Structure 1
Amino acid sequence: MTTRRNFLYLLGTGTTSTLLGVTNASWAVPVAPTAAAKDVFALPPLTYDYKALEPHIDAATMKFHHDKHHAAYVKNLNAAVNKYPELKTKSVEQLLTSLSALPKDIQTTVRNNGGGHYNHTMFWRIMGPKGGGMPTGSIATAINSQFGTFDTFKTQFNQAGTKLFGSGWVWLVSDKNKLKIITTPNQDSPISQGLYPIMGNDVWEHAYYLNYQNRRPEYLSAWWNVINWTEVNKRFAQAQKT
């Protein structure tokens, strides 16, 4: 049954990946949020148990990563959007692809927290229990065509994530139907660069430090054991439509 909370989440995040821009840069004077303000973005529930990805990602990490870090991004994004009621009709994709058109006082907040919300929503979906193994379907064909072999792709992906200084993400993106491996700092999202993220790994320390401490390469290697290739194929199919 679709609850009001789930409905607001679907409304807030958008159910499609069409990258629409915000064209009206003349915003009204911000309205101070009130207790009655209706939040339009919500934390999506996990579709599997916190411990479902063990031993590769432990339950304690999953719990505070989802319930604390992602929840904080959602809370901060809502606080920013609540100041400008006209923005409540925009999906998170629309906000992130039109950052420069937003009111200046919330641009950084939306970039950081809208990006965090969008990135993590994808992150939970492309992982799952009984995952991993070799890629299947269209994404397997595309990876082999672009990178030669899956092992070559995986090595390049892991190297990019290892070399990223500080916090950020390593991604496989579609750039005009060409696959590329890129990294972004902090919670920056590829969609803000006009790229479609097919899959990405969070290399902030909070994503792995309880289990792996400073051994980021070990975490990156273990992460392939929880990849949900079915979901990655869905995102790849969507990328080809954009």
Structure 2
Amino acid sequence: MTIELTPLPFEASALQPFISERTVRLHHGGHQAAYVRNLNNMLDGDTRPLLEVINDAQGAVFNNAAQVWNHEFLWQSLSPTPGAPSLELQEEFDASFGSTDNFLTQLIQAATSQFGSGWAWLVHDGSGMQITTTANADLPNLSICKPLLTIDVWEHAYYLDYENRRPEYLEAVLRNIVNWQHIDNLLPQRSTNHA
């Protein structure tokens, strides 16, 4: 199976003014496309699904496969028309972080504190939401948690627009273009039995 570069779910210019069209094009059509090309060259006819490759791989194969997956998840995490968190999602944020604003503040702090390149994630472990960070191409352990949101803190994600001002990038993106509907769709179903 050949891994394909998944098209963006929006126009490259749609995230402006928070992420420029130039950054989106370079990020998706440059960096992510290179991970796809590199991975296909290394897989050489391997037909396994991407997550299977990630689970079994090491070194360069893992790095490229994980970066393809992480970037596909990133683009789903963003929206030019973000709306607002649903009531159920707000309740989850209240239970796990005290409020939606506290969640955003904690995610921004975690992403800012990630040393070097990596990712910050909102995950659900079955009992509640947590914030975690991963270095380089790593992703959360999918056997124990479900990713709900990610933000890329590799410099290529923000340097053209924000230079070395990572906190400013995080504030702009996470407070303005999070795809709340995507998170809501990924939430584990809660029991409706109130017995």
Same fold (TM over 0.5): yes
Query: Match for residue 184 of structure 1?
Result: 134
| TM-score between both structures, scaled by the size of structure 2 | 0.89
Alignment of 1:159-170 (within 5 A): 159-170=109-120
Query: Match for residue 24 of structure 1?
Result: none
Query: Match for residue 92 of structure 1?
Result: 50
Q: Secondary structure at the match of 1:172?
A: strand
Alpha carbons 1:93, 1:191 under 8 Å: kept: no
Query: Match for residue 138 of structure 1?
Result: 88
Q: Secondary structure at the match of 1:52?
A: coil
What is the aligned residue count? 190
Which has more radius of gyration?
1
Query: Match for residue 178 of structure 2?
Result: 227
Query: Match for residue 48 of structure 1?
Result: 10
Instruction: Work out the CA distance in 2 between the residues paired with 1:210 and 1:193.
Output: 35
The Cα of 1:192 is off from its aligned counterpart by 5.6
Instruction: Work out the CA distance in 1 between the residues paired with 2:140 and 2:50.
Output: 13
The Cα of 1:181 is off from its aligned counterpart by 0.5
| TM-score between both structures, scaled by the size of structure 1 | 0.73
Q: What are structure 2's unaligned runs of at least 5 residues?
A: none
For residue 117 of structure 1, what is the amino acid of its counterpart? V
Instruction: Work out the CA distance in 2 between the residues paired with 1:137 and 1:74.
Output: 37
For residue 49 of structure 1, what is the amino acid of its counterpart? E
Q: Secondary structure at the match of 1:190?
A: coil
Instruction: Work out the CA distance in 1 between the residues paired with 2:25 and 2:53.
Output: 27
For residue 53 of structure 1, what is the amino acid of its counterpart? L
- Provide the identity percentage: 40
Structure 1 vs Structure 2 CA RMSD:
2.0
Pairing partner for 1:147 from 97, 100, 106? 97
The Cα of 1:59 is off from its aligned counterpart by 0.4
Alpha carbons 1:171, 1:197 under 8 Å: kept: yes
Alpha carbons 2:125, 2:145 under 8 Å: kept: yes
Query: Match for residue 63 of structure 1?
Result: 25
Alpha carbons 1:137, 1:233 under 8 Å: kept: no
Instruction: Work out the CA distance in 2 between the residues paired with 1:175 and 1:110.
Output: 27
For residue 111 of structure 2, what is the amino acid of its counterpart? G
Alpha carbons 1:112, 1:188 under 8 Å: kept: yes
Q: Secondary structure at the match of 1:50?
A: coil
Structure 1 segments, 4+ long, off by >4 Å, are none
Alpha carbons 2:82, 2:181 under 8 Å: kept: no
2:76 matches 1:125? yes
The Cα of 1:233 is off from its aligned counterpart by 1.2
Query: Match for residue 78 of structure 1?
Result: 40
